Amino acid sequence: MPNQFIGNHSLYFYAQKATVSGTVALKATVPDTMALEKIHERFTTVSVCKKGTGTTYMLQIKNLTLTHKKDLREILSNFSCVFNNGDKAVIIGEEGNGKSTLLKWLYDPSLVEEYCEAEGERLVSGEVLGYLAQELPKEDQQKSVYEFFSEQESFWNQTPKELNQKAVKFHIAPDFFYREQQMSTLSGGEKVKAQLMRILFAEPTVLLLDEPSNDIDIETLETLEELILSWDKIVIYISHDETLIERTANKIIHIEQIRRKTKSRFCIANTSYTEYLKNRSSQMENQARQAADERRQKQIRDEKFQRIYQSVEHAQAVITRQNPSGGRLLKKKMHAVKSMGRRFEREDENMTAMPEEETAIYFELGTKDSQIPAGKTVLDYSLDQLTSPDGGRVLAEHISLRIRGSEKICIIGKNGVGKTTLLKKIAKDLMERSDIRAEYMPQNYEDQLDLSLTPVEYLNTTGDKEEMTRIRTYLGALKYTADEMDHPIRELSGGQKAKVLLLKMSLSNANVLILDEPTRNFSPLSGPVIRQMLAAFPGAIISISHDRKYIMEVCEKVYRLETHGLVETNLQSEG
């Protein structure tokens, strides 16, 4: 295609073949003096090829085995799965079981080469894969929002009207795409929204989403639900949000590590999450009953067999040499008894196994000493103005929050309104106090964790050998293998990092927990146990969350952060 110049602004376009579905995409080199809105207005005069319709897409994995290079632990063994149009598949499993590794490999096998050995086939034909990483990649952190979007050719295919529609849909300001604000300074929810919108601009046929519900506000959670439900092609995602999974998934991929993480197991079910849990529970109960019944029958049979064996053995011992025919008869009888024993052993090999289920481990947060007297003021906080971390914007005004005793409260609100900024200020004040013992779980775990340390090194601040043994025992109860206890924290999954912080809170005997999205990286299977632990915590909890089940089951009061301050809101309506 020849060079094209549009209007007097000399906007230079060049065409190249896109890597997706053979269409032609256009890329622009933008003079700084031109407003982006004008670019879009003029760009709409250039025709863009559209993808054909009616194509059937399929994605297939054949005989995939994933092995961790460091400890040679098998993450997945001989895994095969076919995905078809309309599949909304959720990958579930406990923390550290390889869910994100599977999703990364499916998108681009090179993403796991550093730490994982992969054998198997990945059949991708005609699909455009859109991948949302669990964390914003480091190379994107320093870009401005405008650079993040404008460097993608697919962004230039959007008209101003389409951009405005997406802004409304994802509950962001219309000028969001044009901001010079650095991506690293966005709120957690804004980062997720930006990545998700950029993916959608490319019109993928397959969505691979790693924790898409992380940090996004309740309004956008509903948008995400609508997106997944209305997507007529393939969606494969990981999420801690049980409500999202219950409402959207129609295919379950359950990855497990059993026998102390020495054996991998998976299950694929074309059903809803609720139905899967119900069927799984029923199957486990039936298997347990059958296995127990077979073991009772085996005990009765073995006792009877032992009596027969001992009887024949005794008869052989006392028979005299004067009765050779009787001896021969007993010898034949013993041969038959031993043959029966060997048959029983073969039958035992095919006995129904007792069901092995990978369950989340419960441990207590705090002790009876963590209880705070009802009349004690834990927090009496006021702030005239809440500004953005760089001081450039006023986020909210006239903030006031009072907490007494062991109250458990949650702060909600739209992404970018300043919830995390406010919680950091509250945490700083509380952790400097000597009359309470406060612990803080930030949204970004790296703010608290030293990624170069192992979990044992991070938790054992004294170096005491007895304390080290105690910590290893706790980590073992949380299903860390001996190797994982000695891995640098940077190599752990998000959920495993969160467990380290929770264990630190438990070991410190804190009586006030300050939690920024506490359930965000736990699996939906761990979710109920984590909520039970937090609800049972004897002390006070000050938290931010968009997890609807957490809000309903743990929090006694909910406050919405608005530009004019904190407003107590109805728990039922927000949950």
Three-state SS letters, 243-288:
HHHHHHCCEEEEEEEECCCCEEEEEEECCCHHHHHHHHHHHHHHHH
Do 259 and 403 lie in one domain? The reply is no
Q: What pLDDT is stored for residue 57 in this prediction?
A: 61
The average pLDDT across 54-75 equals: 84
156 within some domain: no
Say whether pLDDT at 131 is over 70: yes
| % of the chain with per-residue pLDDT over 90 | 53
Do 429 and 537 lie in one domain? The reply is yes
Q: What pLDDT is stored for residue 356 in this prediction?
A: 66
Q: Which residue segment(s) compose the domain that 286 sits in?
A: 57-128+204-323+331-358
Say whether pLDDT at 249 is over 60: yes
Pick left, alpha or beta for residue 480 (phi over 0 → left; psi -120 to 50 → alpha; otherwise beta).
beta
Q: What pLDDT is stored for residue 527 in this prediction?
A: 87
The full length of the chain comes to 575
Q: Which of 276-290, 454-468, 502-516 has the lowest mean pLDDT?
A: 276-290
Do 316 and 460 lie in one domain? The reply is no
The pLDDT tens digits of the residues spanning 462-482 come to 888 888 998 998 888 787 888
Do 216 and 249 lie in one domain? The reply is yes
Cα separation, 306 vs 302, whole angstroms: 6
Q: What pLDDT is stored for residue 2 in this prediction?
A: 35
Q: Whole-prediction pTM value?
A: 0.71
Pick left, alpha or beta for residue 78 (phi over 0 → left; psi -120 to 50 → alpha; otherwise beta).
left
What CATH number does the domain containing 487 carry?
A: 3.40.50.300
188 within some domain: no
Q: What is the tally of structural domains in the chain?
A: 2
Q: Which of 94-103, 227-236, 558-567 has the lowest mean pLDDT?
A: 94-103
536 within some domain: yes
Do 235 and 266 lie in one domain? The reply is yes
| CA-based nearest residue to 419, from 243, 263, 566 | 566
296 within some domain: yes
**Per-chain mean pLDDT for the chain:** 84
Do 349 and 372 lie in one domain? The reply is no
Say how many Å lie between the first and final Cα of the chain, rounded.
54
Cα separation, 275 vs 279, whole angstroms: 6
DSSP 107-176: H-GGGGTTTEEEEEEEEEES--EEEE-SS--HHHHTSBHHHHHHTSGGGGG--HHHHHHHHHHTT--TTG
The average pLDDT across 527-539 equals: 92
Q: Which of 39-48, 128-137, 217-226 has the lowest mean pLDDT?
A: 39-48
429 within some domain: yes
Say whether pLDDT at 125 is over 90: no
Q: What pLDDT is stored for residue 34 in this prediction?
A: 38
47, burial (CB in 10 Å: exposed 0-12, middle 13-18, buried 19+): exposed
Do 464 and 529 lie in one domain? The reply is yes
In sequence order, which residues have a C-beta less than 8 Å from that of residue 426 and are 6 or more positions away? 379, 381, 401, 514, 542
If one compares 358 and 232, the residue with the highest pLDDT of the two is 232
Confidence class for position 289, pLDDT limits 50, 70, 90: confident
Q: What pLDDT is stored for residue 129 in this prediction?
A: 94
The average pLDDT across 384-407 equals: 91
The average pLDDT across 273-284 equals: 87
Say whether pLDDT at 13 is over 60: no
Cβ atoms of 379 and 403 within 8 Å: the answer is yes
The pLDDT tens digits of the residues spanning 159-178 come to 989 999 999 999 898 899 99
Do 339 and 264 lie in one domain? The reply is yes
List the 557-562 sheet strands across, edge first. Answer: 438-441, 512-516, 540-544, 408-412, 557-562, 565-569
Half-sphere exposure at residue 284, Cβ-oriented, CA atoms within 13 angstroms? 11
524 within some domain: yes
The pLDDT tens digits of the residues spanning 78-91 come to 999 999 999 999 99
The pLDDT tens digits of the residues spanning 408-439 come to 999 999 988 999 999 999 999 999 999 999 99
Tell me the β-bridge partners of 129: 206
310 within some domain: yes
Decide: helix, strand or coil at residue 419.
Answer: helix
Do 532 and 411 lie in one domain? The reply is yes
Q: What share of the chain is helix, strand, coil (3-state, %, to 5)?
A: 40, 25, 35
The average pLDDT across 33-38 equals: 37
Q: What pLDDT is stored for residue 358 in this prediction?
A: 57
Pick left, alpha or beta for residue 71 (phi over 0 → left; psi -120 to 50 → alpha; otherwise beta).
alpha
Cα separation, 471 vs 422, whole angstroms: 33
Cα separation, 267 vs 94, whole angstroms: 14
Do 211 and 94 lie in one domain? The reply is yes
Instruction: Specify the DSSP element, H or E, that contains 420.
Output: helix 419-431
DSSP 430-443: HHT-SSS-EEEE-S
| CA-based nearest residue to 455, from 491, 485, 433 | 485
Do 243 and 266 lie in one domain? The reply is yes
Cα separation, 280 vs 271, whole angstroms: 11
Do 342 and 413 lie in one domain? The reply is no
Cα separation, 292 vs 407, whole angstroms: 45
List the 129-132 sheet strands across, edge first. Answer: 129-132, 206-210, 234-238, 88-92, 251-258, 263-269
CA angle 340, 342, 347 (to 5 degrees): 95
Instruction: Specify the DSSP element, H or E, that contains 333.
Output: helix 324-349
Most confident of 32-46, 319-333, 416-430, 454-468: 416-430
Confidence class for position 364, pLDDT limits 50, 70, 90: confident
- What are the C-alpha distances in Å from 375 to residues 261, 372, 378, 400, 405? 47, 8, 9, 19, 6
The pLDDT tens digits of the residues spanning 491-529 come to 888 888 998 999 999 888 899 999 999 998 888 888 888
496 within some domain: yes
